Amino acid sequence: MIDFSKETSSIQRQKIASGNQQIRLIKPCTLGDGITALPVLSTEKIFDTSISWFIPASGSGSRMFQSLHDYLHDNKLISADLEKFVLRLEEFVFHELLHEKFKNVTLGDTENLGELLEHILFENGLNFSNLPKGMIPFHRSESVISTAFQDQLIQGKRINAKQLSFHFTIQKDFQQIIETSLESLLNEDNYSLSFSEQRPETDSFVFDENLDLVLNHESIPLRKPAGHGALLQNLNELQSEYILIKNIDNVQHLNKSNQSTTLWNDLIELAQVVKNQITEIYTNPDMNQLLELNERYQFSTEEYLRSLTNSEQIKDFLNRPFRVCGMVKNSGQPGGGPFWIEKNGVVSKQIVEKAEISLDIEQQQILEQSTHFNPVMIVASVMDLTGEKYDLSLYSDEQSYFVVNKKHEGKNIKFIEKPGLWNGSMAFWNTIFVEIPSETFSPVKTILDLLDDAHQE
């Protein structure tokens, strides 16, 4: 287990004083150089092993409705997003849940427009602003409205596994309503469902501009959640052989989801195939076989692998967690994604967030050359080659972190966020990047995203 007690306030203070740890990019991973095409695999897949979905889902729905909040707080100015929202209101599946007086509100009806937005956002109405994003109605199949939680369960069950479970990380206050919403989907099936919350003991200490601890009203040091990297502890407690990681909002309408289901089955099979190949080399260490495997999947550089001088070093390289990560082609501005990086003299493949990249011209030019981004579609293999569970904390780069700057009661504050779950928290895993179809990635970041084809019946 991860011992977060070692991360004392004094250590965190030193990290903040040192500033962000910026990664040195060597080059972006591209198809054929760090990213592989998805190989043609079998068509019949029944996985006789334990598989668990791991879906972070504690995020609030509030950010989805930013244009509505802006109207209510910024002198009733109608933005382009709000205009689109109101003009196409009938196309959202929650339209039928609205009070009758709000179903036909127009942009010119300013009095009822404000009431409509309040009805959608706050507790006297639908209360969407205060619900988890996963509880917002996303889709309708025939006459049935479904939330993201429900869609993840419905579609996730189509994985051909004999042992399949679902784990959501949530805000504990919402567990009862989430469970109630999923009960009918589990009644006739033998799938286990579990929840956890980001552990309070992983929270970071908060400092002011002078790097003094900020105290709350009870004179106790104020603490803030330390980012999704702290979920490594939750992930570490799952006992399945393979863990499928995705975001709660990346789910299509059921009628548009077949390609995603096929992809997930392919990614799992690829992970199994690679694990078998790793096991064979581990049993009889052979440099030529390792180089051949690496040429196919590009775990590391040939130079690094040739530096492994004996069988024990080869076995140490192979016997660690590994992951198969889907990567989607960039369709807009480059951002977080797959890169070859250098740290402490070692070149490796990593998923890098844009905030981790230096503003230095050379580093920004490398960022501009990136061709793919990370949609968070990961198959994680977390059992060692003897069937024992890895302690995932041993393969995390705790020296990787972010310094977060925010406001608290009108004052500037700073605190540490731990390495991202699929960034520094998996820094020392073996990694395969696979190019996947862009159609399998349809996140809902704003309410208007639900108007896209992937979410329409």
75 and 223, same domain (yes or no) = no
Identify the domain boundary among 130, 148, 175.
130
Q: Is the pLDDT of residue 153 over 60?
A: yes
> How many domains does the chain fold into?
2
Mean per-residue pLDDT over the chain, rounded: 91
Three-class HEC string of 82-110: HHHHHHCHHHCHHHHHCCHHHCCCCCCCH
44 and 80, same domain (yes or no) = no
Is there a domain that residue 239 lies in?
yes
211 and 341, same domain (yes or no) = yes
54 and 102, same domain (yes or no) = no
DSSP of 245-301: EE-TT----GGG-HHHHHHHHHHHHHHHHHHHHHHHHHHS--HHHHHHHHHHH--S-
pLDDT per residue as tens digits for the range 182-221: 988 876 666 889 999 988 888 999 999 999 999 988 889 9
Is there a domain that residue 121 lies in?
yes
pLDDT per residue as tens digits for the range 334-375: 667 999 999 888 899 999 988 888 899 999 999 999 999 999
214 and 100, same domain (yes or no) = no
Q: Is the pLDDT of residue 5 over 50?
A: no
Please tell me the predicted confidence (pLDDT) of residue 4.
Answer: 43
Residue 130 Cα distances to 63, 152, 217, 333, angstroms: 10, 21, 25, 31
Is there a domain that residue 101 lies in?
yes
What domain range is 110 assigned to? 62-130
Identify the domain boundary among 130, 147, 174.
130
DSSP of 292-332: HHHHHH--S-HHHHHT--SHHHHHHHHSS-EEEEEEEE--S
Q: What mean pLDDT is predicted for residues 171-176?
A: 94
Identify the domain boundary among 80, 110, 130.
130
Please tell me the predicted confidence (pLDDT) of residue 1.
Answer: 39
Is there a domain that residue 177 lies in?
no
Is there a domain that residue 257 lies in?
yes
Please tell me the predicted confidence (pLDDT) of residue 76.
Answer: 79
282 and 351, same domain (yes or no) = yes
For residue 2, name the pLDDT band (cuts at 50, 70, 90): very low
Q: Is the pLDDT of residue 7 over 60?
A: no
Q: What mean pLDDT is predicted for residues 115-142?
A: 94
Please tell me the predicted confidence (pLDDT) of residue 3.
Answer: 42
The pTM score is: 0.93
pLDDT per residue as tens digits for the range 364-421: 999 999 999 999 999 999 999 888 999 999 999 988 888 889 888 888 999 998 888 9
222 and 352, same domain (yes or no) = yes
299 and 339, same domain (yes or no) = yes
376 and 420, same domain (yes or no) = yes
114 and 240, same domain (yes or no) = no
Which of these ranges, 39-43, 138-142, 177-181, 358-362, has the smallest mean pLDDT? Answer: 39-43
346 and 220, same domain (yes or no) = yes
